[in-house]
Amino acid sequence: MGRPCLARWDRAWCAVRVTGPRQGRFPVRFGTAEVVRDLDRANGWLLSVDGVAQSYVDVDDPTHLEFDYVRRIADVLDCWGEAGAAVDALHLGGGACTVARYLSVTRPGSRQVVIDADGGMVALVRDQFGVDAIPGVTVHVGDGRAGATDREDLSADVVVVDAFERGMVSAGLFSVEATRELSRVLRADGVYLANLSDGPGLPFASRAVATLSAVFGNVLLLAEPAVLRGRRYGNIVLAASAVDLPTDHIAARAANAAFPARCVTAAELRALVGPARPLTDAEPITPPVPPKDPFAT
């Protein structure tokens, strides 16, 4: 889920002729996808499913990141590791591969695998957004957790979990068992990143943080202050690693963003989580259900 400025999406696009992506509605596994052109950018496109924004892609400029949560993921990736160095990345959930596109440009030579459970969505983005032409990126249709199990130990520098079904986070990817499997795939200094959404009280995010804390030595949370205060439902980015993360640099970038976000770590994060228990496969994991207007304050 993203936070586009909905007033920008002019429905009078019928008379616009473009090459590459084409506007329209398309059936996919988890609903009906819609591709809409951004009239403010020459080749910017919004991809949504059943009215919920999934991806934004600027075909001409993969470094343009429209959604705030994607910028927060990019903040972590830009501050972590050696600037510009190629990485091996595993993405569970793909959409239009916005983050994979970004990494392919900012860290040229990277090798990336994207696994998405929605075969219809994969076919759509292959046809319209040319994801198979992104340098170093391979896209597969399949279950993300099973795909992670098939990966070799210590085979990835970066893992990104950004998988939603019908507007709700794929909660099974957040259990402690799934998280341990992903930590097995990560190299010793690798970074785990996840996007989820939650509402007042952060009931799911708190348990996700508790889960990551049980597996990794270092965890941080990035979100807009209104989301942290429970004033509205919104996106939350989690980052984790077995080694120290460049928290100060990440926090500075988030604080200076167009829509400033807070970086919560250490004691403050423990206070936020409180007595929350890790998520496990042994109990049903219910993802947060977005309200009808998820961005209302």
DSSP strand pairing (156-161 vs 88-92): parallel
Residue 104 scores a pLDDT above 90: yes
pTM for the model: 0.91
> Mean pLDDT of all residues in the chain?
91
pLDDT at 145: 94
pLDDT at 293: 60
Phi, psi of 52 (to 5 degrees): -100, 120
Residue 7 scores a pLDDT above 60: no
Share of the chain above pLDDT 70, in %: 92
Please indicate whether residue 289 or residue 234 has the higher confidence score (pLDDT): 234
Residue 14 scores a pLDDT above 60: no
How far apart (Å, rounded) are the C-alpha atoms in residues 24 and 199? 31
One-letter amino acid of 94: G
Residue 165 scores a pLDDT above 70: yes
Interval 32-87: pLDDT, tens: 999 999 999 999 999 999 999 999 999 999 999 999 999 999 999 999 999 999 99
